[in-house]
């Protein structure tokens, strides 16, 4: 009876693959620019009219609503 189990049976088999690199954070992909509006515009965050805005991901939010 040659019943031997090679180490390869243990080491070669179920090796977990961790190739999934974390994608770049969505927040880092947002374009954030400061904008000043001549006419007051409604903040998409708090609904107040403001003239100073941050454009975050194509939305206008006042500095108070801006979350980094
Ligand atoms: Zn706001």
Stretch among 5-14, 47-56, 57-66 having the lowest mean pLDDT: 5-14
Domain boundaries, the chain: 30-68
Using a 10 angstrom Cβ sphere, with 0-12 exposed, 13-18 middle and 19 or more buried, the burial of residue 53 is buried
d(CA 13, ligand 1 centre) in Å: 55
| Residue 23 alpha carbon to ligand 1 centre in Å | 29
More confident residue, 13 or 65: 65
25 CA from centroid of ligand 1 (Å)? 24
24 — pLDDT class (breaks 50, 70, 90):
very low
Task: State the Cα–Cα distance between residues 21 and 1, nearest whole angstrom.
Answer: 47
Do 66 and 56 contact (CB within 8 A), yes or no?
Answer: yes
Contact 38, 15 (CB under 8 A): no
């Amino acid at each position: 009876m040659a019943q031997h189990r090679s180490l390869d049976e243990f080491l070669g088999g179920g090796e977990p693959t961790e190739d999934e690199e974390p994608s770049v954070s969505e927040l880092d992909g947002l374009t954030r620019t400061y904008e000043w509006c001549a006419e007051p515009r409604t903040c998409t965050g708090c609904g107040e009219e403001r003239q100073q805005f941050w454009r975050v991901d194509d939305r206008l939010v006042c500095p108070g609503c801006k979350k980094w």
